[in-house]
């Protein structure tokens, strides 16, 4: 960030930045000046000026230059920070509604932590924080998602926090038999209510759904992560691989207007663009992208409210599937069931 911005810092902005530096140092220990500058979006020069300001105010902070240098607080120094703003206090209590802590076995710990935060909040902000916890609810599960399998994250957590390798027995989607893998975990991610283990397998990033892990064993071997790579980095790579995976099969359909909203909602991940909708016609044309022809069978759920226009092989696939279902129920009728 240009140095001219640092010179125009308002008192509130600078105070907030000084507090952020103090909290980062208190949490992380020694931190390189360039990392603090990146995190706080200022120049390294501004960081050194802030360190001088903290030192002048009585905070025992010092900087060491060189390859292994950084900025650090004097050993043993701690400070209780109670200067949370109203928005910051609300944000903490919304965190309590996220639900991820339950799967990690941290319900009691979170409740205890929030009670301590409530006691430390400035008195004027306490009512707003308490109301937030009662007025905001975050439910990460999808509508009609069906019963969720019980997931034991204990062993996965143990490996993640102990920095140990894992041996997994893992069953992939569509396979009957589990496979055995030895992986180097980066961490756990909760995505729309589903837990994933993010790990390297033979130095390549891979995603494992926690509910498909049949068994997990923490090994004595130390984890072997790629240098400088963090959980957020690996997750971003894997997330993009899933979301940007090429479909390979373009399908054009027409949808009756009375089912359009539901169609768009249920097929959001397959949509290749906005539908051609003039706002008046009974039918609306949309384009979808699938990996293989068989995936398009999901469109049969819309019965005669969705018609595939192209390609011919998808029309044939749906016709064959519909004929198979018709044949099944005709035979049931013939048996008198």
SS3 at position 118: helix
Any idea what DSSP says for residue 226?
Answer: P
What's the mean pLDDT when you consider all of the chain? Answer: 82
Q: Are 171 and 177 in contact (CB under 8 A)?
A: yes
pLDDT single digits (tens) 118-158: 766 666 767 777 777 677 766 766 666 666 666 678 899 99
Q: Which has more pLDDT, 188 or 77?
A: 188
pLDDT at 7 over 50: no
pLDDT at 104 over 80: no
| pLDDT for the residue 103 | 66
Q: Which has more pLDDT, 261 or 109?
A: 261
Q: Are 188 and 156 in contact (CB under 8 A)?
A: yes
**Nearest in space to 121 (alpha carbons), one of 133, 137, 109:** 133
pLDDT confidence tier of residue 10, bands split at 50, 70 and 90: low
Q: Are 72 and 29 in contact (CB under 8 A)?
A: yes
- What's the mean pLDDT in 307-329? 94
What whole-number distance in Å separates Cα of residue 330 and Cα of residue 205?
A: 49
Instruction: Give 160: exposed, middle or buried? Use CB within 10 Å, 0-12, 13-18, 19+.
Output: buried
Q: Are 155 and 186 in contact (CB under 8 A)?
A: no
- What's the mean pLDDT in 205-227? 94
For tokens 């802590």, the residue is 101
pLDDT single digits (tens) 21-67: 887 888 778 899 989 999 888 999 999 999 998 888 888 998 887 77
- The strand order across the sheet containing 164-170 reads 204-209, 194-201, 179-191, 164-170, 213-222
pLDDT at 102 over 70: no
* Kind of pairing between the strands at 61-64 and 283-290: unpaired
Q: Please report, to the nearest 10 degrees, the dihedral formed by the alpha carbons of residues 7, 8, 11, 12 taken in order.
A: -120
What whole-number distance in Å separates Cα of residue 187 and Cα of residue 166?
A: 12
Instruction: For residue 199, count other CB atoms closer than 10 A to its CB.
Output: 28
pLDDT confidence tier of residue 84, bands split at 50, 70 and 90: low
pLDDT single digits (tens) 151-200: 678 899 999 999 999 999 999 877 889 999 999 999 999 887 788 999 99
pLDDT confidence tier of residue 8, bands split at 50, 70 and 90: very low
Q: Are 140 and 95 in contact (CB under 8 A)?
A: no
- What's the mean pLDDT in 317-321? 95
């Amino acid at each position: 960030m240009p140095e001219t911005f640092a010179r125009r810092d308002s008192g509130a902005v600078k105070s907030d930045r000084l507090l952020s530096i103090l909290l980062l140092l208190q949490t992380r220990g020694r931190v390189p000046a360039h990392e603090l500058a990146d995190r706080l979006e200022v120049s390294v020069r501004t960081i050194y000026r802030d360190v001088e300001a903290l030192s002048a105010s009585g905070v025992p902070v010092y900087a060491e230059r060189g390859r292994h240098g950084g900025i650090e607080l004097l050993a043993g120094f701690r400070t209780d920070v109670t200067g949370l703003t109203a928005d910051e206090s609300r944000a903490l209590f919304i965190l309590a509604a996220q639900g991820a802590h339950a799967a990690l076995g941290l319900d009691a710990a979170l409740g205890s932590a929030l009670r301590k935060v409530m006691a430390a909040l400035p008195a004027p902000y306490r009512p707003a924080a308490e109301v937030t916890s009662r007025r905001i609810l975050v439910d990460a599960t999808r509508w009609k998602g069906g019963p969720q399998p019980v997931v034991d994250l204990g062993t996965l957590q143990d490996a993640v926090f102990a920095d140990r390798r894992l041996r997994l027995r893992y069953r992939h989607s569509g396979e009957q038999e589990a496979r055995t893998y030895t992986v180097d975990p980066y961490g756990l991610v909760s995505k729309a209510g589903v837990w994933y283990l993010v790990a390297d397998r033979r130095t390549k990033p891979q995603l494992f759904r926690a509910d498909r892990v049949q068994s997990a064993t923490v090994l004595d071997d130390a984890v072997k992560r790629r240098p400088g790579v963090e959980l957020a980095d690996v997750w971003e790579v894997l997330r993009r691989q899933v979301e940007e995976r090429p479909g390979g099969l373009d399908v054009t359909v027409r949808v009756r207007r009375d089912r359009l909203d539901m169609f768009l909602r249920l097929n959001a991940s397959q949509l290749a663009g906005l539908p051609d909708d003039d706002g008046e016609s009974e039918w609306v044309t949309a384009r979808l992208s699938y990996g293989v022809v068989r995936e398009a069978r999901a469109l049969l759920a819309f019965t005669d409210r969705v018609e595939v226009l192209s390609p011919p092989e998808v029309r044939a696939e749906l016709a064959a599937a519909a004929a198979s279902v018709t044949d099944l129920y005709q035979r049931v009728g013939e048996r008198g069931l």
